[in-house]
Structure 1
């Protein structure tokens, strides 16, 4: 892997300006960085005072075919009137390249923060997720991966084993706890679902509110179970989560049928996300942005807390899964 490209060390402001100029866009403001660690994303204004966002993809993460599938999914959703931030086309292409970097330009869309504790807003989101999945069911990704144990647990476990950030005195017990968590997930995981194209990372931070929801950031889009796009919206205690899920599913089923067998995958998916996220931080540690923004990863207390989180998730996995209130 080319470390300089991988860590964006060759992506300079002049490089970004030149890339945009190639597409006929003259930047008339500064490049304002937006919150993104995986890619580099900037907001700007052109000479006609139109606002845009340009996204430079992390090299060697996704192939051109995989990024194009993300873009096509966004365009499919837009065609089906699902509110989503979709890339703009330049000479019939949404995926652009400059000096070895893939990038795309999006319209700048504003909005308020989605209120995760607002059941009215949750109902709207459920309804549009039903529509999003209606589009997602039309075909599967051919180049993007499908969610599963291998990508989210087995490969991350290998990364953790070779990680030098884990204190030597804690490493053996940490890996034992990780293995126990993987075993607990394997005991609960099943394939009684239809895999479809997903948003993939549908948490409150990726939903804007503009008289209704607007979905942003399809960077983690992949095939998988519908519940993946629902469970991260839940918050609070079990009773609150049950009410939220019932609200989401009732609205969701106005457009797509929901398989209640997938409720049993919520806690396995949560465990998979915990392990995958930790391995993602380790994978990106050579990027200077990560030690600067996640310094606690090199601290002993952090790994002790992670072991406690894994242990608690093992306990949760042994409890009965979330159940909806019976309808009579």
Structure 2
């Protein structure tokens, strides 16, 4: 897409957002407030009854209707089980996915609160408990349409996207291919069996966890997928020393095992998942460059220094895969 070609989200003006939501029978006396989201466009809105909602306008062409509706069905299952997760609103006919002028969108209940503090044991325990409850529901049945964490397929897709980007020098392209060729067999050595795959939230970073004290909810299931359980846990382990890391792990697993037994063998997959996330994140930035929000937010991606740093980071992950830290 050329720089002069408008992106579909360019036409999603505040007025169109309001008109789309009001087409569902709600009335919004105020303006929508844009929330921090790049993949989709997400807004906080308040209706005339002072109820707060989060309106998510899905990126055109990313997910199929079936994939989005699986996200919504998973949330409904969690709600029925009493698990705190942002619930999706349905109209009088039970529809949760709506469309106006080519934009698919949904309304979610507003979840108040702040992000947890991962240096607090009580927060780690509460998050482990919450994720365990989510996984207890997630194990009941598989997704039929959502993404499946498949290392070769995901790395191949990312490689194609990155090598199509215009910013890498000849040297950087060669280095990127060499490093991925070295990483892939190391990742495959610690790959998970199909039996370890289950429904997970898929993107458990701090921005998707909200609450107060030690009472949290998980929001934004846009990346829910079939993946090993550790995918929803490893980003909680942020410590920089073995002692602190073991403390975090102990609290998270203790909370998790209020609902489910955690298979400690999954800890061996953390560095593989970290490597996969690093590879996919950079591929995502390059794939979304036609969206004007991305060059504004991530201008450094077009600079040579970014790619040299990315290559160094991937090389460090090769060493980490050879010798995973703190698992002995």
Cα separation, 2, equivalents of 1:226 and 1:140 = 13
- Which contiguous aligned blocks of 4+ residues in structure 1 show a shift greater than 4 angstroms? 1-7
Normalising to structure 1: TM-score of the pair?
0.93
* Cα drift, residue 233 of structure 1: 0.8
- Please give the alpha-carbon distance, in whole angstroms, between the structure 1 residues aligned to 2:211 and 2:50: 23
Distance in 2 of aligned mates of 1:48 and 1:207: 26
Q: State the shift of 1:183 in Å.
A: 2.8
Pairing partner for 2:207 from 198, 205, 209: 205
Deviations 1:249-275 (A, max 9, x none): 122112112112211110000000000
2: CA distance, partners of 1:104 / 1:96: 6
Is the contact made by 2:42 and 2:55 (CA closer than 8 Å) also made in structure 1? yes
Q: Structure 1 unaligned runs (5+)?
A: none
Partner-residue secondary structure (3-state), 2:176? helix
- How many residue pairs get aligned? The number is 324
After superposition, residues 1-328 of structure 1 pair within 5 angstroms as: 7-91=8-92, 92-191=94-193, 193-211=195-213, 212-237=215-240, 238-320=242-324, 322-323=326-327
For residues 83-134 of structure 1, the C-alpha deviation after alignment (integer angstroms, 9 at most, x for no partner) is: 1111111121111111111100112222022111111110011111111100
**Alpha-carbon shift at residue 188 of structure 1 (Å):** 2.3
Note the residue ranges of structure 2 that are not aligned, 5 or more in a row: none
TM-score by length of 2: 0.93
CA RMSD of aligned residues (A): 1.9
Deviations 1:251-302 (A, max 9, x none): 2112112112211110000000000111011110000100010000011111
Aligned partners of 1:152 and 1:275 also within 8 Å: no
Q: Does the aligned pair in 2 maintain the 1:71–1:94 contact within 8 Å? A: yes
